[in-house]
C-alpha cells in the first residue's frame, strides 16, 4: 500500500470514528460503484439467470461478503473466448504447451503425480452448475481451457496457514514456494481444482528447462500465477501471447474502463465458473 493511500485510509478511519462523514463513507461502500464490483454484479447477474441459482443475485445486491475489491490501480483479469478456440483447432494445446514449458511444469508419466497450470476439460466439468440438457454440438465437441481463476475472494488464500499463498494488490493470487509447508489445505479449499502438489521431485521431469523461471522442489503446491513475472515487465501472459492475433485470450486491467478487456466484457455475454460460491473469479468465458 503506498503512503498516500494509507494516509487517506487513516483519515477516513478517523473521520468515520468521529462520526463525521461516516455516512458518506458508508454510503460509498454500500453503493459499491467501483468498476470491478459493477462488472462482477453484471456478470454474476447474467450467469445467475442461466444457473438458476438464487445466491448470486443476492450478492449483486451487496449481500455477499466479497472482501474489498481493489478500486484503483491495476486489477488483472482474463477473457477466454471459446468461439476463437473452436475456429483454431490445436490452439488450445499450443497454449497449454507454451505455459507449461516456460514455467518448467514437469510432465510426469503417472497421472498420480500430475501437475498442471492450464489444461483442457469438458464443458460440463468446467461449468457443472449450468444446464446440460440438449447442449449444442459445439460445446459438446470442444473442451474448455481451465486455469486458476485468480479469485477476488480466494478461498485458497484464506486457508493457507503460512501466507505462502497470497493475493497481490493487482488481483494476482500468487505463491511463495519457499514458504509453503505442503499441508495442501489450499488444495482442499480451491473449488476449481486449480492447484497441484509436487508429490515427488519435479526436476527430473522437466522437458526443456527454462532458466528464466525457477523450478520447484518437492513437497510444495503450485498453480498458474497469471505470469506475474511477465506482467511485472509489462508483457502479456504467455498463454495470451501464444494465441497471437486470434484474440482467443484477452488479458487486461479490469479497473480501466477503456481497456480492451473491458470492451470485450461489455460487448459479449460472459460466464464465470461456479459463480454461486462467491469467490468472484477474474477469468471470464465467452461460450
Partner 1 sequence: MFEKALKGNNYYWIWLAFLGSLMAIGAFCYVRQFNYGLGLTGMSRDVSWGLYISQFTFLVGVAAGGVMLVLPYYVHNFKAFGRITILGEFLAIAALLMCLTFIVADLGQPMRMLNVILHAQPRSMLFYDMIVLNGYLFLNILCGWVILTAERKQVPPPKWIYIFVYISIPFAISIHTVTAMLYCGLPGRHFWLSAIIAPRFLASAFAAGPALIVVAALILKRVANFDAGKKAIDKMVTIIIYAALTNAFFVILEFFVGYYSNIPGHKHTLQYLFFGLEHNGHVYNNLVPFMWAFVALGIAGVALLAIPYSRKKNEFLLGLGCVMLFVSLWLDKGIGFVLGGFVPTPLEEITEYYPTANEIFITIGVWAMGFFVLTILYKIAVGVEHEIEA
Contact letters for ligand SF4, residues 177-206 (x by CB under 6 A):
---xxxxxxx---x-x-xx-----------
Q: Which of residues 164-183 bind partner 1 (CB under 8 A)?
A: 164, 179-183
Give the residue among 279, 285, 270 at the shortest CA–CA distance from 39. Answer: 270
Euclidean distance between CA atoms 164 and 209, whole angstroms: 24
Nearest to 21 by CA among 31, 35, 11: 11
Q: Min. distance of Cβ 21 from ligand SF4 in angstroms? A: 35
150 makes contact, choosing from partner 1, ligand SF4, none, with CB < 5 to 8 Å by partner type, with: ligand SF4
| Binding status of residue 162 toward ligand SF4 by CB under 6 A | yes
Residue 215-234 contact track with ligand SF4, rule CB under 6 A, x = bound: ------x-x-----------
Grid coordinates 474489498 are at which residue?
Answer: 68
Q: Output 26 or 149, the one with its CB closest to ligand SF4.
A: 149
41 interacts with ligand SF4 by CB under 6 A: no
CA distance 138 to 84: 12
Binders of ligand SF4 among 130-149, rule CB under 6 A?
148-149
Strand pairing category for 249-253 and 76-81: antiparallel
CB closer to partner 1 out of 58 and 189: 189
HSE of 251, CA atoms in CB hemisphere, 13 A:
23
Q: Does 188 bind partner 1 (CB under 8 A)?
A: yes
Nearer to ligand SF4, 196 or 259 (CB): 196
Cell of 222: 503450485
Angstrom distance (rounded) from CA 159 to CA 139 = 34
180 φ/ψ sector (left φ>0, alpha ψ -120 to 50, else beta): beta
Q: What residues from 99 to 158 belong to the interface with partner 1 (CB under 8 A)?
A: 111-116, 121, 124-126, 128, 146, 155, 158
Of 164, 238, 243, 277, the residue at the interface with ligand SF4 (CB under 6 A) is: 164
Q: Name the residue nearer to ligand SF4 (CB basis): 10 or 163.
A: 163
Nearest to 267 by CA among 130, 81, 49, 31: 81
Q: How many residues does the chain have?
A: 287
Which chain residues interact with partner 1 by CB under 8 A? 111-116, 121, 124-126, 128, 146, 155, 158-164, 179-185, 187-193, 196-201, 217-221, 274, 277-279
Amino acid at each position: 500500500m503506498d503512503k498516500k493511500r494509507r494516509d487517506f485510509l487513516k483519515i477516513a478511519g478517523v473521520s468515520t470514528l468521529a462520526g463525521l462523514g461516516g455516512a458518506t463513507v458508508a454510503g460509498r461502500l454500500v453503493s459499491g460503484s467501483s468498476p470491478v464490483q459493477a462488472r462482477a454484479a453484471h456478470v454474476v447477474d447474467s450467469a445467475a439467470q442461466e444457473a438458476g441459482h438464487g445466491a448470486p443475485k443476492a450478492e449483486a445486491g451487496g449481500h455477499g461478503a466479497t472482501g474489498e475489491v481493489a478500486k484503483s490501480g491495476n486489477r488483472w483479469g482474463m477473457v477466454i473466448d471459446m468461439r476463437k478456440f473452436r475456429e483454431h483447432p490445436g490452439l488450445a494445446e499450443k497454449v497449454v504447451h507454451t505455459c507449461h514449458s516456460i514455467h518448467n511444469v514437469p510432465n510426469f508419466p503417472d497421472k498420480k503425480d500430475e501437475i498442471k497450470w492450464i489444461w483442457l476439460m469438458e464443458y460440463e466439468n468446467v461449468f457443472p452448475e449450468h444446464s446440460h440438457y440438449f447442449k449444442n454440438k459445439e460445446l459438446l465437441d470442444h473442451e474448455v481451457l481451465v486455469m486458476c481463476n485468480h479469485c477476488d475472494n480466494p478461498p485458497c488464500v484464506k486457508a493457507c496457514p503460512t501466507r505462502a499463498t497470497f493475493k497481490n494488490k493487482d488481483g494476482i493470487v500468487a505463491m511463495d514456494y519457499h514458504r509453503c509447508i505442503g499441508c495442501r489445505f489450499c488444495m482442499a479449499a480451491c473449488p476449481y481444482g486449480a492447484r497441484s502438489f509436487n508429490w515427488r521431485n519435479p526436476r527430473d521431469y522437466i522437458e526443456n528447462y527454462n532458466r528464466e523461471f525457477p523450478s520447484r522442489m518437492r513437497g510444495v503446491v503450485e498453480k498458474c500465477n497469471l505470469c506475474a513475472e511477465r506482467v511485472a515487465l509489462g508483457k502479456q501472459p504467455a498463454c495470451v501471447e501464444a494465441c497471437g492475433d486470434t484474440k482467443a485470450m484477452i488479458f487486461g486491467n479490469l479497473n480501466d474502463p477503456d481497456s480492451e478487456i473491458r470492451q470485450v466484457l461489455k460487448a459479449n455475454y460472459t460466464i464465470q465458473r461456479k459463480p454461486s460460491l462467491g469467490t468472484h473469479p477474474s477469468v471470464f468465458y465467452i461460450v
